[in-house]
Structure 1
Amino acid sequence: MFREQKIKIGDYYINYLKVGNGPRNLLFVPGAYGSIWTNFKLQVEGFDREKFTLVLWDPPGYGNSRPPDRDFPADFYERDADCAYELMKALKLPTYSILGWCDGGIVSMILTSKHPEVTEKLVIWGSKAFILPHEIAVYDKFRDLDVWSDNLKNPMLELYGEKFGSYWAKWTDNAIYSVLKTREGNICSDRLKEIKCPTLILYGEKDPIVETMHASYLQTHIENSRLYKYPKGKHNIHIKYAEDFNRRVQEFLLQP
C-alpha cells in the first residue's frame, strides 16, 4: 500500500515515504537510529491523508538510508537538518510543518531556526536543547538494551538485527560525549530564540530519558509555544497514546 523511494541528497541516498494528498505538508523526523516504520507507523496509519501530505524519511545511516553506516561528527544534528531541508526542496514542497521525536526533535528545532521561511508549525516531543553532566548516567544506563521496553527495542532489532547493540553503543559514545566535550552540553539551546512559528511541545511526565526540566525549558525559551503533558506517559507517547496524540497534533496543525 505504501511505497518507499530513494533520492540522492548530497552524498547520501535517502529513503523516504510520501503519502497523502492534503494541502498541508508535514515532515516527520525520527529519533536516534529511528526510521519511518520503527518510529511513525501509527502516524502514517492514523493521520488524515486528505488533509495532510506526509513525508517520512530515514536520516543518513539510519534504516534504509544505508550504506554507509551512521557516523557521528560533531555537527551531525546540523547535517541531518540540512539533509531534511534539501529533501523537501527536492520533493518540491516549499513550506511545511515539522514533527520530531527525541533526536528528531533536536534536528527539527535546528531546521526551524535555520529556515523559518519554510516552517509553518513545529511539533516536538521527548526532546531537549542541552545535556547536563549528571544525565550521562541515564544514557549509560540505556546502553544496556535489556532495560529498554519491548515497544522500543523490538522494532530496532527487527531493522538492524543483532548489530543494533553495537550501533547504540556507538551513538552513546560518540553523539552524547561529543556534545559534552565540544559544546559543553549545548545541543541547540542557542537556536531557540530563532524559532518563531507556532510550536507544540509534548512530554511524558514519566519519561526515563528526558527530565521534566527540558520540556519546561523549551516552552520558556521558544516564543509562541505551548506544552502538553501526559501524566503517565514515558518516552514513546506517540506510540503508547497514539490515538490521542494523533488527534491532538492534527488539531494543532489545522488551527489557522
Structure 2
Amino acid sequence: MPFIETEGARIKYHIIGKGKPLIFISGLGMDHKVWLYQVSHFFKKFMVVLFDNRGIGESSYDGKRFSTYTLARDVINLMDSLNIEKANIVGSSLGGMIAQEIAINFPDRVDKLVLSSTTAKLERRTRKGEFFRNLGKIISGEVEILINADPDHPIFNRAINYILQNAYSRDFLIRNKSLAEKLAREYFSKENYYEVLLRQAGAAFRHDTRKRLRSISAETLVMAGTNDRIIPAENGERLAKEIKRSNFVKIEGGTHGLHLERAEDFNKHLEAFLE
C-alpha cells in the first residue's frame, strides 16, 4: 500500500487513472472514501489522486497540533513525491480551507481550484460554531469513551446521528442509511479518531484567509448548497467575490455533503469547469 513520509506524518494515498492530475481533499473527519462518486466519473480522463489527511483513515501523525497550512504542506509533499508539478485541486469543507492555503502559498502548483461547502473564516457565532458546540454537548463527559473507541457505547450513535443529520438531507439519509452509517461508524471506531477530530476542528477554527484571498491567481470554481446547515452558501458567495478569477455555483437544495448527496450536479459543474 502506498504511503509517503512527510513532516510528522505518514500519508496514505491512492492513484486511479491516467492523465492530468486531479487531487481531492476531504473534509473534517472524512477519509478518501467520500470521493467515491467522483472517482468513478473522472478516472477515465484524469489521474485521480486521493489521500487521507494526517491522522485520518490509514494516515498517521505525531499527535502534535496542526493548521490548515500544515495540511496544505502535506499535499505539496505528496505532489513532490509523485513528481506532480501542477494539479487541479478540489477541496470540500475543511478540504476547501486546505485548498485555499495551497493556492495562496504555492500558486505555481495549482492549475484550477475548486472550493466546495467551505469558507475563508469560521465565525464561532455561525452555524459551524453552533454545530461544534452542540456536538460538544452531546459528547460532554464521554471523551474517554470516544478516545478509547468503544463503538458499542450509545454516545457513538448520538454523535453519528447528529453529524449525519447536519451534513445531509433527511431524504438522502433514508435512501442511503446503511452506507452513511457504515462510513460514520467506521470513522468513529478508529483509534484516536476523536482526538484527531478535535485537532482538525481546531485547525478549521484558526483558519483565516480573508485578507489573502485576492492573492489567489488560479481560475477558481466555488460551489455551495442552499440548504447547507454547517457552512451557509453566503460564505461561498463571499469567497467567490474575493477571488479574482472565480465563478460561483449555488446548488438549490444542496446540503454540506454536495459531492456525495448531489454527486451528479457536483460532477457536472466540476467537469465543465475542468474542460
TM superposition score category, shorter chain reference: 0.7 to 0.9
* 1:159 paired residue number: 187
What is the match of residue 215 of structure 2? 194
Contact kept? 2:29, 2:187, Cα under 8 Å: no
Match of 2:75 in 1: 84
Question: Structure 1 CA distance, aligned partners of 2:196 and 2:86?
Answer: 33
Tell me if 1:139 matches 2:132. yes
Letter in 1 for 2:240: Q
State TM-score, norm by structure 2. 0.79
- The match for 2:264 is 243
- Counterpart for residue 33 of structure 1: 29
With structure 1 as the length reference, what TM-score do the two structures score?
0.84
Name the residue aligned to 2:54: 60
Unaligned runs of 5+ in 2: 139-158, 165-172, 174-178
- Aligned to 2:212, what secondary structure does the other structure show? helix
Return the alpha-carbon distance in structure 1 between the equivalents of residues 204 and 6 of structure 2. 26
Q: Report the secondary structure of 1:235's partner residue.
A: coil
Distance in 2 between residues matched to 1:28 and 1:82, nearest whole Å: 15
What is the aligned counterpart of 1:51 among 40, 45, 66? 45
CA distance in 2, matches of 1:176, 1:113: 16
Once the two structures are TM-superposed, the CA of residue 152 in structure 1 deviates from its matched residue by: 5.5
3-state secondary structure, aligned to 1:117: helix
The equivalent of 2:114 in structure 1 is 123
User: Relative to 1, partners in 2 of residues 1:191 and 1:242: Cα closer, same or farther, differing over 3 Å?
Assistant: same
Instruction: Tell me the CA shift for residue 142 of structure 1.
Output: 3.9
Residue identity opposite 1:140 in structure 2 = R
1:15 Cα deviation after fit: 0.1
Deviation, structure 1 residue 34 = 1.4
Alignment size in residue pairs = 238
Q: In 2, Cα distance between the equivalents of 1:14 and 1:169?
A: 16
Structure 2 counterpart of 1:72: 65
Identical columns (%): 24
Please tell me whether residue 16 in structure 1 is matched to residue 37 in structure 2: no
Contact 2:28–2:197, Cα closer than 8 Å, also in 1: no
Deviation at 1:113, TM superposition (A): 0.8
1:216 shift after superposition: 1.4
Deviations 1:149-169, CA, capped at 9 Å, x for gaps: 256564132134176884476
Q: Greater relative contact order: 1 or 2 (C-alpha under 8 angstroms, separation 6 or more)?
A: 2
Question: For structure 1, which runs of at least 5 residues remain unmatched after alignment?
Answer: 180-185
The alignment yields a C-alpha RMSD, in angstroms, of 2.3
